[in-house]
Amino acid sequence: MKARLRTVRLDLAEPLRISRSTMTSRDAIWLAVEHDGVTGHGEAVSSVYYGLDTASLERLLGAAGAGLARFRDPESALEALWAGELTGRGTPPAVTAAVEAALLDLVGRLAGRPVHRLLGAVRPPVAATARTIGITSLARAAAQARALTASGFGILKVKAGSPDPEDDVERVRVVRDAAPRARLLLDPNGAWTAARAEALLPRFADLGVEAVEQPLAPGDPEALAALAERSPLPVIADEDAVSLADVRRLAGRVQGVNVKLAKCGGVRAALRIAEVLDGSGTALMLGCLTASSLGLAPAVHLADRARWADLDGHLLLARDPWSGIGGGDGFVRASDRPGLGVEEVAADEDVA
């Protein structure tokens, strides 16, 4: 097998402000793996929060790609990857996830089968996805809520964590007024203390918020679990639920866990987390980083297994260089095309 890399800049349609940063763009590194004239693709994206800079991703994906040359086929490479024999100890989960995605795409394309069928599903998964509204002006938040619900979005995720918490309350209030039938999720990205969370969560419950994601600063899962026990809203762990061990610690103690493939290490790791959560009383949320349809596609093939899908990262881009999972009408869909079911879009083509 042969591998090659390509790095591209993904610009957002507009800046996305959350409690800890404002993002306008990020780099995507595409891994292409070829075998018997067929090519599979995977994507990793840079992230300051996860310590993933472009140069490191290029180096690590390049090393993994070079290592693929010793395998006779993508199936044996996948087995080695899952056994920890392809990438070195300490390899970031995002790198493992991108290599796994390229190999799954290649296996599916060679077999003429979509990834969800490789994973045991019969029908292509379809899921309503949340759409993110960042920390922005009240007028802009209301306008976005109206436009998104008119396009078909039934779930809106409102970012929180402003210096003045009243700004967050008012933002949710105007979104609720603009989209009275929408399901609302709230995400402070770990910006609150326990005292602030306890004071604010009843007010957000009164506004009809369905669940809150990582209200407390990560690093104290016991505090998050204690808050979840007395919260009027379901609490979904995100930054405090990175590894399988993290999830085992929180299963049954919070109401949800946000699983991002770039955070946990890919599809197989996500399925192992889903097994741990099954029957625990903690529901699965599938989340994402801002990425292209190529980066989102592996999670879409799992989307029917989650209570909440937050798979809108490709919809935040000024231009998505890949197509195949939809989302513009509020629903992401895996296709029955072989592999991940996505295709690169030429620069002068419209993206579907």
Mean residue pLDDT across the chain: 96
pLDDT in the model for residue 211: 98
State what percent of residues in the chain have pLDDT above 70. Answer: 99
Using DSSP, state whether 50 is helix, strand or coil. coil
DSSP state of 351: P
**Would the pTM of this model clear 0.85, i.e. be above it?**
yes
Query: In angstroms, what CA-CA distances link 131 with 15, 65, 184, 287, 311?
Result: 15, 34, 10, 11, 8
CA 236 from chain centre, in angstroms, equals 14
Residues of the chain short of pLDDT 70, as ranges, are 348-352
pLDDT in the model for residue 348: 62
pLDDT in the model for residue 344: 97
pLDDT in the model for residue 347: 74
Alpha-helical (H) ranges within 34-151 are 54-67, 74-82, 93-111, 115-118, 138-151
Per-residue pLDDT tens over the stretch 164-175? 999 999 999 999
pLDDT in the model for residue 352: 41
pLDDT in the model for residue 346: 81
pLDDT in the model for residue 89: 82
pLDDT in the model for residue 349: 58
The span from the CA of 215 to the CA of 166, in Å, is 15
pLDDT in the model for residue 299: 98
